[in-house]
Amino acid sequence: MTRSQTSRAAFTVLRELVALHTQNSVHFRNVTARLFPGALDAASLEELPYLPSEMFKTNALKSIEDGDVFKILKSSGTTGQARSHIYLDRETARSQTKALSSIFAAAFGPKRMPMLSLDNPGQLQNRASFSARGAGILGFSMFAHKRVFALNDDMSVNIEAVKAFLSADAPRKFIFGFTAIIWQEFLQKIDGFSPAACVGEAHLLHGGGWKKLAAQNISAQAFREAVTAKLPCVKTVRDYYGMVEQTGSIYMGCDAGFLHTNAHNDILCRDPDTLEIAPPGTSGVMQVLSVLPTSYPGFSILTEDLGTVHGDGGCPCGQPGKYFSIHGRLEQAEIRGCSDTYEAAA
């Protein structure tokens, strides 16, 4: 399928989701009635209604009966901070897994690889309430046939485990972690491994935002160089953009250093003041769209992330789809007015 075909298919599903959630979620119905009166007849992606991500922290947004809740995902957050609660039924959970699997296979191939998690095993201990980190590790473990942790529970590096992983006899290996953890807790603590220490080639995927690294003036390029200098077996370094509110339909990074849409999602960039669509190439606040959520009204969310959509097709990597970058987060105060509007409507 060409991009315009996948885009049309996604729009058709998204429009059906407007009707579904209007019927099944009172919060969604109230917000759209007040702020998006033509929502059910949206003629383009840009006209679809959206909820601010903040609303998932302050309301139990569900489009299913309580008895059908299969799992609740929570966003990461420090103590005292409100966290998003995402209510999944079996169907939504299943479609999340399926989408993640197809996006992963498109980037790294369909074969399972041994996996090195650049984190500690403690992240998976409390299965009842996962942190976003734990959920990420578990999500990507589905594509691995053996998982090893690079860090101990006290966040020291388990050098022996890393050595054993790198020298294990497998032609392709998968390394996964969160950007800031990889940088601070792994790359800064190891001397590096010689090419002779590695068997086969490795592919590294990281996510979780650049905010902490940007604060230290560490660019994507510097991150990539540090990874390949210390782990010379790493042949590709990709990042991804995703959030607990739209688990599964992540945006995968490409070799040219941009993030891409795919058949499961779409993205729009809006002027933070007017909320009009920002012209390609200009910075704005990102609206994320996912075809997956049926159990909660999270298919179209105005995030607090700032980014730029560079174009629809035309990425130097040659892949179709929109390609974009994320720069950081809106200051809390900037989005305030917008959330207040929604709170009033909800």
286/315 with CB nearer Zn ion? 315
3/29 with CB nearer Zn ion? 3
**Phi then psi for 342, rounded to 5 degrees?**
-70, -40
- State the SS3 of 225-250: HHHHHHCCCEEEEEEEECCHHHCCCC
Q: Determine if 87 is a binding residue for Zn ion (CB under 5 A).
A: no
| Binding mask of the shown chain, residues 131 to 170, with x at each position contacting Zn ion by CB under 5 A | ----------------------------------------
Do residues 261 and 267 lie in contact, with contact meaning Cβ atoms separated by under 8 Å? yes
Q: Determine if 229 is a binding residue for Zn ion (CB under 5 A).
A: no
Which residue in 148, 252, 315, 335 binds Zn ion (CB under 5 A)?
315
Which residue in 43, 222, 317, 344 binds Zn ion (CB under 5 A)?
317
Query: Exposed, middle or buried, 122 (CB in 10 Å: 0-12/13-18/19+)?
Result: middle
Q: Determine if 314 is a binding residue for Zn ion (CB under 5 A).
A: no
Q: Determine if 258 is a binding residue for Zn ion (CB under 5 A).
A: yes
Closest approach, Cβ 315 to Zn ion, in A, equals: 3
Q: Tell me the pairing of strands 265-270 and 259-260.
A: unpaired
| Binding mask of the shown chain, residues 269 to 308, with x at each position contacting Zn ion by CB under 5 A | ----------------------------------------
Closest approach, Cβ 162 to Zn ion, in A, equals: 30
CA angle 81, 82, 85 (to 5 degrees): 140
Report which of 119, 115, 114 is spatially closest to residue 186, judged by C-alpha positions.
Answer: 119
Q: Determine if 241 is a binding residue for Zn ion (CB under 5 A).
A: no
Q: Determine if 60 is a binding residue for Zn ion (CB under 5 A).
A: no
- Which distant-in-sequence residues (6+ apart) come within 8 Å of 84 by Cβ? 53, 56, 57, 73, 74, 75, 244, 245
77/281 with CB nearer Zn ion? 281
Return residues touching Zn ion (CB under 5 A).
Answer: 254, 256, 258, 315, 317, 319, 323
